[in-house]
Structure 1
Amino acid sequence: MVARTSSLLVRNTTLFITVIFATVSGILFGYDSGYINGVMAMDFFDNMHLSTLSLKATPARSSPQLLVTTRKDKVKLVGALSLGTFFGSFAGSDLADWVGRRTVLLLGTIFYTIGVLDQFLSNEINWLARGRFEAGIGMGAISAVVVVYLVETSRSDWRGWLVMIYQTAITLGMFVSSGVTFSTMSLWDMRSYQIPIGLQFVWVGLLFVLILFLPESPRWYVKTGQVDRARYTLSRLTGKPLGDEELEDEVGGMLEEVERDRKKFKWAQESPLGHSCEYTLRQAFFESWSCCWWGKASNPGSHFRRTLLATMIMIFQQLIGVNIVFYFAISVFKQHKFDHDPFRLALILAGVNVLSTLLCCYPVLALRRRVLLIGGALAMAVCQLTVGITTWTWYWSGDNKSAEHSPTWLLVLTMVGMGCYVIFFAGTWGPGAWILIGEIFPTQIRARAVGIATAANWATNSVICYLMPVLIEPDGRDIGLGVFTITGILSLFAAAYVYLCVPETEGKTLEELAFFFAHGPGYEMATAAHLDDDASSEAAVSPLTLIPSKGKKNTLS
């Protein structure tokens, strides 16, 4: 009885730390993504020659100076982070299979801290961009591994909640960054942007400490042949004592899943459970990545099909336009001559993002994944097309050229439309896309495949960071909020893609999904008889591996 109570206490403590870890990592992600929007629009930052000023220089408000944050500079500052995260996602996901999920998270925080330090000390654009690139490498590694870690260390009934907490924390981080930049925008010295940058030290320091108290993923231990450590970690996560029958069944299921995938690939056969002995490290490296592309695109159960699906979901998550709002909203509000403080308008949108994510937690987890993504994309398309077509039409009319400020009705329409868009994104594609890509891969390729999808997300983000200033800035195409017409059409394509290609994954354990995914959209969970019928197909696996024993609940899947 005492042992059981002690195990439950350890489990609850670990779960609490994991929840806080998901929260802080999300805040860090959101804060870092959001603060540059406000910094680029600050009067001091926008009007000083960073390349010629010393750290103590404070140019007079009235002195005429060339704007340093031109379109090229904005692309450089926003794109540097995205470029760094692209490379960090690949590096982090690869290292996660070799040295462990937890170790990569620690390394990511170290790289991120170095980047923040460079940003804080910078006094010119290129230096600041270099710091954002360095921080991006760390953020890319963290963002690629954190979802994998949460999925692999949580029970099936907690899996969606933890990812939802992570997504909610991202929106909270964006809101905090908007609030901080709103508070410091009136400072006419380098504190105006150094304070928002410096606060990142708080989040990354807290994250580093939390990771020290977290266990390694039991599935990674099984994958690397450390079965005893996997049992101990699983006992810590589930609150079941060592030797418990259900715990042993759980470990057995993980062993069977890894062994089944291992037999498909030469690089994983040279030693038990995935680490190469006679095979060279170079061969193992390239062939382990090639596992993510195993099979044919026409086979729904192939690794290639799953990797392609996750990659497309992440690309569409960017193409539907959310980061246009949180990267460039203040600049667009200024351009459209709204008679309200653009910082305040951006802060309102960030607050709507947080509240809608909180209110949508239960619907996100209660609704089926396909319904969530299809419905969300269609609703966002309506909001975007309404705002885009209306504002574009007015902006290019004669009324715009003669007006000192945009009319009130246009401001109301824009804020309502963008607010509804943010609500639908926060309640659907924001968390839903991350939950989906964390569920669909087997243990053998999960870290690398999620890394590929995350890298695709950041690569698309980089393209958007380059294109948006070209489209919306006065020295570019100057279409302003009309850009939402384009993203609205892309949202319709996203809905069509999910309808045609994405199967339902809600309510399934990771082991069940290994079979379930092979049967396409709308297919309900197969029975053991169906499994036997498909035993000869390329994607078929053993029914004993996928279907838990009767009367026993798979507690960590």
Structure 2
Amino acid sequence: MAEEKGHERKQSLQAPTDTTRVEAPVTVKAYLMCAFAAFGGIFFGFDSGYINGVMAMPYFIQEFEHLDPDTTPKDKFVFASWKKSLVTSILSAGTFFGSLIAGDLADYFGRRTTIVAGCVVFIGGVVLQTASTEVGMLVAGRLIAGFGVGFVSAIIILYMSEIAPRKVRGAIVSGYQFCITIGLMLASCVDYATQDRDDSGSYRIPIALQMLWALILGGGLLLLPESPRYFVKKGELDKAAHVLSRVRGQPKDSELIQQELAEIVANHEYEMQVIPQGGYFDSWLNCFRGSLFKANSNVRRVILGTSLQMMQQWTGVNFVFYFGTTFFQQLGTIDDPFLISMITTIVNVLSTPFSFYAMEKIGRRPLLIWGALGMVICQFIVAIVGVTDGQDKKAVSAMISFICIYIFFFATTWGPGAWVVVGEIYPLPIRARGVALSTASNWLWNCVIAIITPYMVDGDKGNLGARVFFIWGSLCALCFFYAYFLVFETKGLTLEQVDKMMEESTPAKSSKWKPSTTFAAQMGLADAKESAEEVEHVA
């Protein structure tokens, strides 16, 4: 009976032939839903940012290194490099595995449920961190919190991409990156306010405050709908129609809702016919099937998504946000490194809203190309000035200025752009796992950078100092060529049209591609030739 009902429901959908009417109009409520979901970026950013200042706090060093500030020489009164590396990177390690797990959870239990579960796990990790007085418990807490951040960071992008209106999807997903920058700034401000406390509140207040962001996000999401594309994937078309009605502000049985639902169903049906079906391991293997020489194959999309997130980390921006305070301390001529670190996070916040406009007006591909070029120029200037006259106060001021300009280029291009593209390039059958793999790649390279950077720049290790920007600049040059040759333009297309565009176009020509038909019309023609039994898998 359930299969017959699902099949009848599927047959009753109105297949649109007009490619401009594959999505119903949207309301202010839809924008507010997506904007609230982007709030997940705040605790992601706060959790990544608070550790930057905490590791330079006198009381924290005294407590965790068991040093006496009155008798220990100033150059020895520091948090050990290996501990700095471990404490910073362990969050990313937990997030890497959390992201991978999240893909399965999102397909089985839903996008919204997975995000809420991530908030609960995250709070457990924060409780351990707040109670810690030794490195071991701090590391354990950050590892557990990392799993929670992995759930949220992987699925929040997926969730927003699946419910956001196509014309502003890039701007709304960019809001997630904006919230990350707000989280980083708030963490820096709280660190600045508590740094001089001579008690455990100096580091416990920044840590414990993270629970507030998780409670707000988790509680609020319980009031938001599940993704309509998740219900289509599960064959629950009535629920999908109900969610679309709620998000688009149209009656459930309206022509517009039925046409948009028909396009989503038809695209999923097409992909299910193309992608071999099987058990659990086969469903993971589907992510890696297809030809390396076909841009729309699953394996090429996974490579594109994972390498795009890798490149985002290679820009080196997290060096500034993770280790900026201790790096500015090493320059020697800065009176208040905490203040400079806070300024860099403020620049990050103020710059990101430009991407809301640029992502839809200019497009994803041009922003990634020119953003990489801008970062290359700034980073090489910082490195050259640091090498030639790094101890002069004016030279240091110039370095800080170009670091801020470099952050502007990142915040308006690669920061939000990588997340936007990753949320758009995967077909529905592998979308949850594809986004999870891409996010896991982000955190894997985040972890690698967090591990190796202290050994590269600390005075008792590699002692690269400002020369490290030669490395980041060279990697940004690779980002420039990567974006030019491999990134598609997805501006203004539905997720289903992105799927078609990657099949028919190339990165260089993608900005000029226009849809000529809809999946619903295409599959409607196919249905006339097929028996009902062959298409009932949609139900």
For the 8 Å contact 1:11–1:236, the answer to whether it is kept is no
Please give the TM-score of this superposition, normalised by the length of structure 1. Answer: 0.86
Q: Which amino acid aligns with 1:544?
A: Q
Q: Deviations over 1:360-408 (max 9, x none)?
A: 431233112111000000000000011012213445xxxxxxxxxx311
Equivalent position to 1:348, from 343, 346, 354:
343
Same amino acid, percent of matched pairs: 37
Gaps of 5+ in 2: 1-23, 525-539
Aligned to 2:513: 525
Whether 2:310 is the aligned partner of 1:315: answer yes
Aligned to 2:200: 190
* Residue 475 (structure 1) shift: 1.6
* Residue 14 (structure 1) shift: 5.4
* Residue 511 (structure 1) shift: 1.3
| Residues 296-311 of structure 1 mapped to structure 2, 5 A cutoff | 296-311=291-306
Whether 2:334 is the aligned partner of 1:339: answer yes
Aligned to 2:522: 544
User: CA 1:14–1:436 in 2, change beyond 3 Å: closer, same or farther?
Assistant: closer
Equivalent position to 1:131, from 128, 134, 141:
141
| Residues 95-494 of structure 1 mapped to structure 2, 5 A cutoff | 95-267=105-277, 284-394=279-389, 406-494=391-479
Q: Deviations over 1:168-216 (max 9, x none)?
A: 1111111110000000000111110000001001111111111110111
Q: Distance in 1 between matches of 2:30 and 2:287?
A: 31
Q: Distance in 2 between matches of 1:67 and 1:484?
A: 26
User: CA 1:328–1:545 in 2, change beyond 3 Å: closer, same or farther?
Assistant: farther
Q: Which amino acid aligns with 2:124?
A: I
* Residue 102 (structure 1) shift: 0.8
User: CA 1:543–1:504 in 2, change beyond 3 Å: closer, same or farther?
Assistant: farther
Whether 2:62 is the aligned partner of 1:62: answer no
Tell me which of the two structures has the higher relative contact order, counting C-alpha pairs closer than 8 angstroms and 6 or more residues apart.
2
Moved more, 117-126 or 503-512: 503-512
User: CA 1:70–1:384 in 2, change beyond 3 Å: closer, same or farther?
Assistant: same
* Residue 358 (structure 1) shift: 2.3
Q: Distance in 2 between matches of 1:21 and 1:149?
A: 8
* Residue 11 (structure 1) shift: 5.6
Q: Distance in 2 between matches of 1:49 and 1:113?
A: 22
Q: Distance in 1 between matches of 2:523 and 2:397?
A: 56
Q: Which amino acid aligns with 1:456?
A: S
* Residue 61 (structure 1) shift: 4.2
Q: Distance in 1 between matches of 2:272 and 2:400?
A: 52
Q: Distance in 2 between matches of 1:178 and 1:527?
A: 46
Q: How large is the RMSD of aligned CA atoms in angstroms?
A: 2.1
Q: Distance in 2 between matches of 1:543 and 1:464?
A: 48
Q: Which amino acid aligns with 1:216?
A: E
* Residue 35 (structure 1) shift: 0.4
Q: Which amino acid aligns with 2:44?
A: F
Q: Distance in 2 between matches of 1:289 and 1:527?
A: 30
Q: Distance in 2 between matches of 1:527 and 1:191?
A: 58
Q: Distance in 2 between matches of 1:410 and 1:545?
A: 64
User: CA 1:14–1:250 in 2, change beyond 3 Å: closer, same or farther?
Assistant: closer
User: CA 1:360–1:252 in 2, change beyond 3 Å: closer, same or farther?
Assistant: closer
Aligned to 1:31: 46
Q: Deviations over 1:5-31 (max 9, x none)?
A: xxx9x9644542432231x21111111
Q: Which amino acid aligns with 1:521?
A: P
Please give the TM-score of this superposition, normalised by the length of structure 2. Answer: 0.88
Q: Distance in 1 between matches of 2:520 and 2:182?
A: 43
Q: Deviations over 1:470-510 (max 9, x none)?
A: 10011211011211110101101111011111122111111
2:274 is paired with a residue whose SS is: coil
Q: Distance in 2 between matches of 1:498 and 1:49?
A: 43
Q: Which amino acid aligns with 1:348?
A: I
Tell me how many residue pairs correspond in the alignment.
496
For the 8 Å contact 1:314–1:454, the answer to whether it is kept is yes
Equivalent position to 1:499, from 468, 484, 499:
484
